[in-house]
Amino acid sequence: MADIGIWGLGSMGMGMGQSLLRAGHRVAGHDVRPGVTLDGGTPLAPEAISTAVLVVLNAAQTEDVLFGSSGIADSLAEGAVVIACATVPPAFARDMAARCSTLGLHYLDAPISGGAAKAATGQLSIMASGSAPAFAAARPALDAMAETVFELGEAGAGSAMKAVNQMLAGTHIAAMAEAMVFGMTQGVSPAQFMEVIPSCAGTSWMLENRGPHIRDGDYTPRSAVPIWLKDLGIVGEIAAAAGIEMPLTETALSRFRDAAALGLSDEDDAAVAKVYARQAGLDLP
């Protein structure tokens, strides 16, 4: 049993915290929102925490939790491991690993995939990278939170792989929305689309996961539109530095920007379909 702190109790972090508790660990939950707590959690002083799991939004929040005015890095005991799960540029992950190392801390660059449902059941896929001692220290928490842990090398490699995944996932959502609305212009209803396409070659995990949200008219934010402004923006920054053009990714990003401009930032990312429907003059379910 380990003493674990988890920072960020959103849809992913809350489920991960519950998975850690089910595995028998003592877990202290932290969130910037007043009144948001981890049911069953235990208050722990930072110096008692052997594993700090950061499930925050971005690089800025990751750095703030560790090194901000109330940062925990100086308080964690030497030898503790930081498991950082936000989607960030690889160079940022390498910098965080180096800064943690100077304090005697291990750092695992560990972006996650699988959504809130798999976070709640401890079945995430984690694209992890870091030193062998970091993996060893993080193993009890990783085993509780993930079904699959990919060990990808030194810090930064996990974030590079997550960028590849997010590039595909974001473009798949936009392509699904575009295809569904295109089908509507030809008399194919969203219900028919979701009955047929998941059994055909044009399907994808994102289509099967997000398509029902459009079919059912349910835009409760499991993963909200702004996530893709951030993640596809990171992909674009990495691509620019590498000197590669990515027109498909850029087009998908522009569709999510259009969705935000329409006031859809508080809705599920499947709401990008509303951009296409508006252009086509169609009403979604």
Q: Nearest 5 degrees, angle CA 130-CA 61-CA 155?
A: 10
Q: Which residue has the tokens 């896929």?
A: 125
DSSP annotation string for 12-66:
HHHHHHHHHHHTT-EEEEE-SSTT---TT-----GGG-SEEEE--SSHHHHHHHH
Is position 162 annotated as part of the catalytic site?
A: yes
Per DSSP, what are the bridge partners of residue 127? 150
Amino acid (one-letter) located at 267 = E
Q: CA-based diameter of the chain, in Å?
A: 63
**8 A C-beta contact, residue 151 and residue 126:** no
Distance CA 79, CA 226 (A): 35
Give the active site residue among 118, 162, 230, 274.
162
Catalytic site positions: 162
